[in-house]
Amino acid sequence: MKNFTTSASQETAFTVSQLNRQIQQLLEASLPWILVEGEISNLAKPSSGHWYFSLKDDKAQIRCAMFKGKNATVRFKPKDGDMVRLRARVTFYGPRGDCQLSVEGMESAGEGALQQAFERLKNSLQAEGLFAPEHKKPLPTKPERVAIITSPVGAAVRDMIIAFRRRFPLTELTILPSLVQGQDAAKNILRQLQRADGSGHFDAIILGRGGGSLEDLWSFNDETLARAIFAANTPIVSAVGHETDFTIADFVADVRAATPTAAAELLSPDRHQLIRQIEQQEKQLVRRMSRILEQSQQQLDFMTKRIRHPKDRIEQQQNQLEQLKRRLQQSMQRKIVEQQTQTANLAHRLERNSPTRRIDQNRQKLKDIDARLARALNNTLTNKQTTFARIIDKLNLVSPLNTLARGYAIASKDKQVIRSIKDVEKGDAISVRVQDGIISCEVTANKSTP
C-alpha cells in the first residue's frame, strides 16, 4: 500500500475535461472525413432547422447531427427506417463525453448504385459523341409553337405556362401529358417525344419536371430516351429538376435549362424588350424620315429658285442669240480680211515667180538631156553588139554542131550520151546524131579498142 501511494504521487493525473479534450483531438485527427451507411432512427427536426438522429445497424448505433445549412442540400425527405449514406466528420462532445457524427452530406443508400449506373451511361454516350457541341441544334429566336412534355399537374407545368404568358403570350403551347416518375415514365416520355418530333408541327420541345432525388429523376436517365433526343429533328430543351440536378437528358439535349421556368424564358422573347426594340426602331425610323424630308425640302427650295418664267428664258436666249450673231459677223469679217491679205501676198509672189520663164529654161534643159541620152544609147548599143558578136564566135567554137559538121557523130541510148562500150549491150537500140539528122541503129557487137 505504501508503494502504490508513492508511485501515484509521482504521476500526472488528467482531469476529466483534459481527458475528453485528448480523446477529441485523437478522434478528429485520425478520422477527419468518413463515409458511413446505416439506418436512421429517432429522427428529430426541431424548429431551429437542425436534424438530430441516430445511425444504426444490427449491432451498434452512433448519434448524428446535421445542421440547417447542410441539410438544405438533401434531395429527399428522410424518415426513421431509411437506409442512408452519410459523409461526416467524427466529433467528440466533451461536456457529456459523447462521440457523434457531424453530417455534411446525405443520400439514399440506394442512390449509390444509381449514381454508378448514371456515370457509366454518361461516359458511354459521351464517348459516342452524343454530347458533342457540334451536334447541338440552335434554338429558334421567336418560336411560334412549343410542345411541353411533362406531368399535366404540379408546379413545373404551371411555372412554364406562367412564364410564357408573362413574357410572350403569342407563343402557342401544347402540353403533352406524361408520367415523369416511376417504372413507365421513360416509355411515356419517349412516346410523346417521338409524337411531337414526328409531327413536324413544333419549333421546339421542352422536357420538364420539378426537382427530386436521383431515383425520382431516373426516367430522364434512360438510354433509349437519350438516343431519341439525339436523333430528333426538333430543337429540344431539357429542364429537369433544380439547378443542381443533372440527368442524361440534360447532356444530350440541345440546351439544358436550370429549371422549367428557365426553359420557358429561353424559348420566349421578352415582350417588354421587344416593345422597347420596336419603340427604338420607330424612333430611328422617324429620325430617318425627318432627315429625308429635310433633304427633300432643301432640294425643292433649290429647284424652286432655279425655276424661271418661260418669257424670261426666251428673252435671255434671244439676247444670247444676238450676241452670238454679232460675234459671228465679226469673226467672218476678220476671216475675209485675212483671206484677202493672203491672196494679195500669193499674187505678188506669183508675179515674182512667173512660170513662163521657168518653162523655157526647163525646155532647153530637156533638149540637152534628150541629145545626151541619144548619144549614150547609140554608144551602149554599139558596145553591146560588139560584145554579142564575140560571144557568138566563142559559142560556135565549142558548139557540137560545128563538131558534127566536121564529120563527127553523137551516139545516145534512151536520150543519154554513150561514153563507153559498157553503156550498151548487144541488141540495144541506139540513136546516132549527124550534122543533118538522126540514124536509128541496133548494136550487133561491142568491142573495146586496144
| Res 4: pLDDT | 42
Contacts of 20 (CB under 8 A, 6+ apart): 92, 94, 95, 97
Evaluate whether residue 305 is within a structural domain. Answer: no
Mean pLDDT of the chain: 85
Q: Is the pLDDT of residue 400 over 50?
A: yes
Q: Is the pLDDT of residue 223 over 90?
A: yes
- Do 53 and 140 belong together in one domain? no
Domain that holds residue 419: 408-443
147: domain CATH number is 3.40.50.261
- Do 151 and 237 belong together in one domain? yes
Select from 56, 83, 113 the last residue of a domain: 113
Select from 226, 247, 269 the last residue of a domain: 269
- Do 108 and 150 belong together in one domain? no
- Do 224 and 141 belong together in one domain? yes
Evaluate whether residue 432 is within a structural domain. Answer: yes
Taking residues 341-366, report their average pLDDT: 78
57: domain CATH number is 2.40.50.140
Residue-wise pLDDT for 9-66, tens only, equals: 467 787 878 887 887 778 777 777 888 988 899 999 999 999 999 999 888 899 999 9
- Structural domain total, the chain: 3
- Do 87 and 166 belong together in one domain? no
Evaluate whether residue 384 is within a structural domain. Answer: no
- Do 99 and 176 belong together in one domain? no
Residue-wise pLDDT for 369-393, tens only, equals: 888 888 888 888 888 888 888 888 7
- Do 139 and 210 belong together in one domain? yes
- Do 177 and 98 belong together in one domain? no
Residue-wise pLDDT for 171-217, tens only, equals: 999 999 999 988 889 999 999 999 999 999 999 999 999 887 777 88
Q: Is the pLDDT of residue 8 over 60?
A: no
Select from 224, 248, 269 the last residue of a domain: 269
Evaluate whether residue 77 is within a structural domain. Answer: yes
- Do 217 and 147 belong together in one domain? yes
| Res 126: pLDDT | 92
Residue-wise pLDDT for 133-150, tens only, equals: 999 999 998 899 999 999
